[in-house]
């Protein structure tokens, strides 16, 4: 088990544990040692949290001590760092973000020179060096830093290039929720420049309001705005814009599983679907069964978009994602990208002439009940006899009509209890029962 890295980089509360300026200084140095090379460069992007300024400076200092140059991108989406790392031929890209978490959390994600997230071995090597004393490069070999002032413009053009429909978006009314996060400039510009009429919410970041009652984890604001503006659809990003959920014109939420199905079906109809689709252990059973009806193979990876990407690569498949809205469209980009994913859905709408509601309605979602139980520390759930007994009891009661997934969050101190069944009441009852046992056993 790694000491600092979770399923999506390092994350936690600012000022505690690893989320401190002194740790980030050492992390920058360690990353420079592991990922860098003499005369190399590393990109740093961030979301809109107030603590991003502090950690940007710390990482830059550590990288300089390791002899690495730093290119500062400012507030940009996580996938923008992935893309620009490749186009600048950098040795690595770093994102300062805690994704969908509130402002008082922050974290760091790393991309390699190929724009993909690091594997477990590289993360373990960085962790090993973090606990070693810093050895500063010779003064003549210290790294320099400079800002890339056109990073936003570069990424807007990339996003627009992934839109494949023949028609412009003229006449389409879209509400875009930017979560007061990293996509607040880029997202509206992309859709407007493609011709859509765009209404925005969550686009006034102040360093403290990222994800607050808006964004992909709080779609209620978007649902209300879509109805208010009589829009054709709504798009909700998260704080670092690497995930997306959507809302149809009736105000119904379209989640990551439905988005995956829409894109897969569209690519299949166009003869452009590469292989099958990768989901995760959390993916709805309805996605698997709906794809099966189309003779599209489906596989489940561990939760975390880098595990989805790894499974896609191993199978040579071109599409994968998570229920949360992390979707990787391999035909367009190499990592989860909320803006690019939304464009693929809009492209399918314009090509077929169907509404988002029609396209999402072609897939039946099985009722799921997800309960997050906050715990004090990480535990090995397999050693908890009472919890395992509760899971086994639920599985026996549901038989083939449902399934249980119990797992610790890789980014927060939570145990996620998920029950899926063909009956909503059944799913809720079993989830509540298991969650009570988890709470009684682990929350003393």
Catalytic residue list:
99
**195 vs 216: CA distance, rounded Å:** 24
**186 vs 198: CA distance, rounded Å:** 12
Please give the DSSP secondary-structure letter assigned to residue 444: -
Are 340 and 159 contacting, i.e. CB atoms less than 8 angstroms apart?
A: yes
**68 vs 422: CA distance, rounded Å:** 54
What are the phi and psi torsion angles at 372 (to 5°)? Answer: -100, 120
Residue 126, exposed/middle/buried by CB under 10 A (0-12, 13-18, 19+)? buried
Q: DSSP string of 185-199?
A: THHHHHHHHTT-EEE
- C-alpha torsion 306→311→315→318, nearest 10: -50
**133 vs 400: CA distance, rounded Å:** 55
């Amino acid at each position: 088990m790694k000491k600092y890295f979770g399923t999506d980089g390092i994350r936690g509360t600012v000022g505690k544990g690893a989320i401190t300026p002194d740790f980030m200084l050492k992390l920058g140095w360690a990353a420079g040692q592991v990922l860098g090379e003499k005369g190399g460069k590393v990109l740093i992007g961030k979301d809109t949290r107030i603590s991003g300024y502090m950690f940007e400076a710390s990482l830059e200092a550590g990288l300089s001590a390791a002899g690495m140059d730093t290119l500062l991108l400012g507030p940009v989406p996580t996938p923008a760092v992935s893309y620009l790392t490749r186009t600048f031929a950098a040795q690595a890209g770093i994102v300062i973000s805690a994704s969908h978490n509130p402002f008082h959390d922050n974290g760091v994600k790393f991309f390699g020179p190929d724009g993909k997230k690091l594997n477990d071995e590289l993360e373990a090597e960085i962790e090993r060096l973090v606990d070693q004393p810093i050895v500063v490069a010779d003064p003549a070999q210290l790294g320099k830093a400079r800002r890339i002032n056109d990073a936003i413009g570069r990424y807007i053009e990339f996003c627009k290039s992934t839109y494949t429909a023949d028609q412009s978006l003229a006449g389409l009314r879209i509400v875009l929720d930017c979560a007061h996060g990293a996509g607040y400039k880029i997202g509206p510009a992309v859709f407007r420049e493609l011709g859509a009429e765009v209404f925005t919410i969550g686009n006034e970041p102040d360093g403290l309001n990222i994800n607050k009652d808006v964004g992909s984890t709080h779609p209620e604001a978007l649902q209300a705005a879509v109805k208010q503006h009589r829009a054709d659809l709504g798009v909700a990003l998260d704080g670092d814009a690497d995930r997306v959920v959507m809302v149809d014109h009736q105000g119904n939420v379209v989640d990551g599983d439905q988005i995956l199905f829409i894109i897969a079906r569209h690519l299949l109809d166009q003869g452009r679907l590469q292989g099958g689709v990768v989901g995760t252990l959390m993916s709805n059973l309805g996605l698997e069964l709906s794809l099966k009806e189309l003779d599209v193979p489906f596989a489940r990876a561990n939760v975390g978009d880098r595990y989805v990407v790894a499974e896609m690569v191993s199978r040579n498949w071109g599409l994968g994602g998570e229920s949360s809205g992390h979707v990787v469209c391999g035909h367009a980009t190499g990592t989860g990208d909320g803006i690019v994913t939304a464009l693929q859905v809009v492209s399918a709408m314009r090509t077929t002439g169907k509404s988002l509601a029609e396209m999402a309605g072609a897939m039946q979602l099985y009722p799921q009940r997800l309960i997050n139980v906050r715990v004090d520390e990480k535990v090995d759930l397999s050693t908890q006899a009472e919890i395992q007994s509760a899971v086994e009891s639920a599985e026996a009661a549901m038989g083939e009509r449902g399934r249980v997934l119990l797992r610790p969050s890789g980014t927060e101190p939570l145990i996620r209890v998920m029950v899926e069944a063909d009956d909503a009441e059944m799913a809720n009852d079993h989830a509540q029962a298991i969650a009570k046992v988890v709470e009684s056993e682990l929350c003393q």
